[in-house]
Amino acid sequence: MTSTRPLIRPFTGLRPRSEQASAVAAPPYDVLSSDEARQRAAGKPLSFLHISKAEIDLPPEVDHYAPEVYAKSAENLRKLIDSGVLFRDATPCYYAYRLVMGAHTQSGLIAAASVADYDSNRIRKHEFTRPDKEDDRVRQIEALNAQTGPVLLAHPDSEEAERLIAVATSGTPVADVTAEDGIRHTIWLIDDAAAINSIGAVIGAMPSLYIADGHHRSAAASRVAAARRGKGCPESTQSSEYFLAVIFPARQMRIMDYNRVVRDLNGHSVEDVLKSVGERYSVTPSASPVTPERTGVCGMYLAGHWYHLAIHPELVPTQDPVRRLDVSVLSEQILDPILGIADLRRDTRIDFVGGIRGLGELERRVNSGEMAIAFAMHPTQMAELMSVADAGEVMPPKSTWFEPKLADGLVSHVLD
C-alpha cells in the first residue's frame, strides 16, 4: 500500500546549544561496550552516553535491559533539557550534516522519515533484526518519548539533492565537533521555507531510500507507531509516524571491509586447506598483507603467511544479488565446505573484524593462537547493497561496515 504521507518531513529537533555540542556528542550506542562507555564518559557529565547507555550510571551488576536503566536514561535526558544544555527548535526544520574522516567527506540531510514507507518497503531493508535488540530500542524510545539514535539511510544519485545540501552547508553551522577519533561532525540548520519545500520535493520524489545502518532502530520506531495507533491516537498528528534519519547520497557513502577470522581448521592440516582452497580460487603467496583490489578477490592469512585468492569466475552465481557477494562466495566455497561453518549467526568458531581495525588485527589474532585463519575481504559496494534490498533479499551477517559513524546527541526527534 502506498503511503499518502510525505516520505520525509522537517521536525523540531532537540539539540545542544552550539557552545556545548562538543561536550554532548557521543559515539553511537551500539559501537561501545558498557565498560568502554563508562570510561569514555568519565568526568563528562554532559556526554550523551549518559542517555544512550545509562547503565554506566548504575552499579555494574544491574542488567543492561533492566527497567531502571531506561528510567535513568529518561532522568538524564530531562536534566540536560532542564539545565538548558538541550533545547528544541521553535519550528520544524531540516538539518544538514557533514562528516569528515581524513580525506573522505559526505554531506547529507537529517530528517524525519515515514514509518509507513518503511512498513511498505519503500524505505528498504537488507538485514534481519533480533527481537531482543528491537525490544531494547522500543523501551528506550518509550522511556524518553524520543528517538535519539538516527537511522543511516542512502538515497539514489541526485545532483539536485546534493546541490540543495551544498547550499545549506554554505552558512554558519549550529554545531561543529571533532570527536576523539578525529572525525568531524558539522550540523547546519535549514529553516528557510523555500529550502524546506525544495528538499522535501526532491527527496520525496525518489522511488526508494535504503537503510545502511539502523535496522533495529527503524523496526523499533515502526513498533512504537503501531502501538500508539492501537491506542486510538490519530495518525495525522503523531510524530511517532516518523523516525529520526540521516540521509546521504549513496555515491558518497563509504563501506569498509568486514573481515572474517576462524578459530580452527576443522581438523584439516594447513596443506589440506591450501589444496582445497586452490580447487576454488587461484592462490598466490604474498610477501605482504593482502588488500583485495576488486570484487572476486580476498586475502587469506594462514600459518604466518598471506595469500592472494581470486575466485574461479564460473563459481560465482552472477544472477543472484546475494550469492554473488564476496562474503557469500567465501561462505559457499571455503567457510562451509572446508571449515565447517554453515551458520554465521550462531557458530562460535567464527568472528568478524571491522576494517577500521586494519589487517594487522587479523595477523594479531592468528599469530596469538586465538584464531587459526583469517580472510581479508573486498568491501561490499553500495550498488550491491541496493540490489539486494531492491530484490527484497537479506545480506549475509556482517557484510557491511560503514565509516564514518554518526554521532548521537547532536539532533534528536521528540515524539509529541
Rounded mean pLDDT, 78-100: 98
Q: How confident is the model at residue 179 (pLDDT cuts 50, 70, 90)?
A: very high
Where are the chain's structural domains?
A: 8-254+403-414, 258-378
Measured distance CA(112)–CA(11) in Å, rounded? 7
What pTM value is reported for the model? 0.93
Long-range contacts of 157-164 (CB under 8 A, 24+ apart): 157/249, 157/250, 157/251, 158/202, 158/206, 158/249, 160/202, 161/109, 161/199, 161/202, 161/203, 161/249, 162/107, 162/249, 164/195, 164/198, 164/199, 164/202
What does the pLDDT look like over 387-400, one tens digit per residue? Answer: 999 999 999 989 99
Contact by Cβ (8 Å): 248, 402: no
What does the pLDDT look like over 242-286, one tens digit per residue? Answer: 999 999 999 999 999 999 999 999 999 999 999 999 999 999 999
Q: Is the pLDDT of residue 159 over 70?
A: yes
Measured distance CA(8)–CA(115) in Å, rounded? 10
Angstrom CA distances, 343 to 336, 378, 392, stand at 8, 21, 21
pLDDT of residue 237: 57
Length in residues, the chain = 416
Q: Which fold has domain 258-378?
A: 3.30.1760
Bridge partners (DSSP) listed for residue 353: 259
